[in-house]
Structure 1
Amino acid sequence: MSERITIKVEDGVADVRLVREDKMNALDDAMFARLISAAEEINADTSIRCVVMSGLGRAFCAGLDMGNFAKMADGKRSENSVAGGGLAERTYGIANRAQQAVWGWRSLRVPVIAAVHGVALGGGFQVMLGADIRIVHPDTKLSILEVKWGLVPDMSSTAIMRRLVREDIIRELTYTGRMFSGVEGKEYGFVTHLSETPYEDAMALAREIASKSPSAVQTAKKLYNHIADKDDGEALLTESVLQDELMGSKNQIEAVMAGLQKRAGNFVD
């Protein structure tokens, strides 16, 4: 299998790069597999405190590889369908294989920052949405493109988009598949920050996050992931339970001491 994604870890930050640059980092079967395995590798490495995901070359990710559409035209199911049971079969907890390529990053133990440039179309747009924070070049071309190919978005983005953007906007963009810019994406709510240098700004933010108590940051991500679809009572109880776990822990005490002594924290992973 050709290399699709590289991971370089330095000072607690995992620099994750999509490196199929000759194909604008399009999603073939090998890229799907690597998106899943890369998230698993990072989740298992407790030295990693934050992730930056970016695409090498001219684009973040151009979406599904054209070879997959050629197979569909011949009446063949996508390589990312679940053999035998179809897409409705759950093979990764609450997700199927294609969904896990995005949901694996959304549910990752540590924060993920996407640094996006060029294009993020269809499946590539969905990969971008799997990040906690999205830093995007203003001129980036974005699209919920699936309708062009007679499909609906199916890589877990529907569960994510509804928490970010007004429903009528999601519907219009899904029904039409129209392109929109990073600037429009910011107005809609898909984009966290606009930047002329998204990778550099994402790395700076990741280093800042990595300097904080990993226990607090990872618990915060766990909290926000857990309460997304809960009622107010469940949300309030969850934050209390998780706060109880943090208070008095080694990293929490170190955070207090570092703040009082005006120094960087010396946290344990």
Structure 2
Amino acid sequence: MEFLTWKVEEGVAIVTIQRPPANALSKGLIHEVDEMLSAVEHDDAIRVIVLHGEGRFFSAGADIKEFTEVSSGEEFSKLASNGQQVFERLESFSKPVIAAIHGAALGGGLELAMACHIRYVAEDAKLGLPELQLGLIPGFAGTQRLPRYVGVAKAAEMLFTSEPITGVEAVQWGLATRSFPVDDLLSNTIEIAKKIATKSPIALKATIDMLQYSKHKGFYDGVQAESASFGSVFNSEDAKEGIQAFIEKRKPTFSGK
């Protein structure tokens, strides 16, 4: 691929965005995110994905130069829809995806990060949706995901003012889970990802499915689906291994079956 590279360590695919100088989200980069998901989806050696940016930024936003190549609102809507589909696939992906955000995640870069299951940030990172400065609005579901994490009022402030928040503030507001000094961000993220990679792939996928279910259904529909999934997971070899390992006071070895 031209813009993404990755290596695998102990079940974790460490995926690096490489599109200098700002890792701007082009159509090509978004397409490669989709290709990357297809490549790792059925690779049993990969159980967790860590996504981070090379250089100074996670991603400083969409490639604005590509906007000048769009000739109509209809074409612009299609561009947004294509990006939304890839990011929705990312959010519902069967394996956990963690964003490690340093420098800046702005505009489309933040929308990409918000589609990941977990976000860890450098303390001095900048996160924001500045599209209104261009007379535009976010197009990759930013107006929909941001309120889910920070609430409607804070989302409105961030969108209306176009002002970013810091990594520390992102944790305070619920947009990110943890903040670290920038030099420790990636190593700490990978360490946590490796812990997650030791869990049962079947149970991880079921958990992701239940988290996604809560987006579309009410509470009681969700708990009914959870009980059904609970029984299905119980029938797996991984569940038998996990229970037996607990009884024998040892670490489980999950096979994903």
For normalisation by structure 1, the TM-score amounts to: 0.88
Check if 1:123 corresponds to 2:108.
yes
The 8 Å contact of residues 36 and 100 in structure 1, kept in 2 or not, is answered as no
Task: Show the counterpart of 1:181.
Answer: 166
Asked if residue 87 in structure 1 is aligned to residue 77 in structure 2, the reply is: yes
Match of 1:49 in 2: 47
Residue 261 of structure 1 corresponds to 248
Provide the rounded CA distance (Å) in 1 between the counterparts of 2:218 and 2:27.
Answer: 38
Unaligned runs of 5+ in 1: 90-94
Tell me the SS of whatever aligns to 1:228. helix
CA RMSD between the two structures? 2.0
Count of aligned pairs between the two proteins: 254
Is residue 2:6 matched to residue 1:7? yes
Identify the residue that residue 23 of structure 2 maps to in structure 1.
25
In terms of fraction of residues, the more helix-rich structure is 2
- SS of 1:120's equivalent in the other structure is strand
Aligned partner letter, 2:202: S
TM-score (norm 2): 0.92
8 Å contact 2:147–2:154 — kept in the other structure?
no
CA-CA distance at 1:167 after TM superposition: 0.3
Task: Kindly report which structure 2 residues correspond to 1:229-268, keeping only aligned pairs within 5 A, or say none.
Answer: 229-268=216-255
Contact 1:258/1:265, CA 8 A, preserved across alignment: yes
- The answer to whether the 8 A contact 2:107-2:138 is kept is yes
| 1:7 counterpart SS class | strand
Counterparts in 2 of 1:45-124, with a 5 A limit? Answer: 45-71=43-69, 76-77=71-72, 87=77, 96-124=81-109
Matched residues in 1 for 2:63 and 2:144: separation?
23
1:162 matched to 2:152:
no
- How far has the Cα of 1:77 moved from its partner? 4.8
Match of 1:92 in 2: none
Shift of 1:115: 0.5
Q: Shift of the alpha carbon at 1:88? A: 6.1
Please tell me whether the aligned partners of residues 246 and 252 of structure 1 are also in contact (alpha carbons under 8 angstroms): yes
The equivalent of 1:224 in structure 2 is 211
Instruction: Show structure 2 runs of 5+ residues with no match.
Output: none
Does the CA-based 8 Å contact 1:101-1:155 persist in structure 2? no
Matched letter for residue 118 of structure 1: G
Identity %: 30
Superposed CA offset, 1:79-121 (max 9, x none) = xx75xxx6269xxxxx931113322211110111110100111
**2:178 & 2:233 partners in 1: Cα distance?**
30
Moved over 3 A (4+): 69-72
Matched, 1:201 2:188: yes
On the 8 A contact 1:130/1:157 being kept in 2, the answer is: no
Query: Structure 1 residues 210, 147: closer, same or farther in 2, change over 3 A?
Result: same
Amino acid across the alignment from 1:8? K
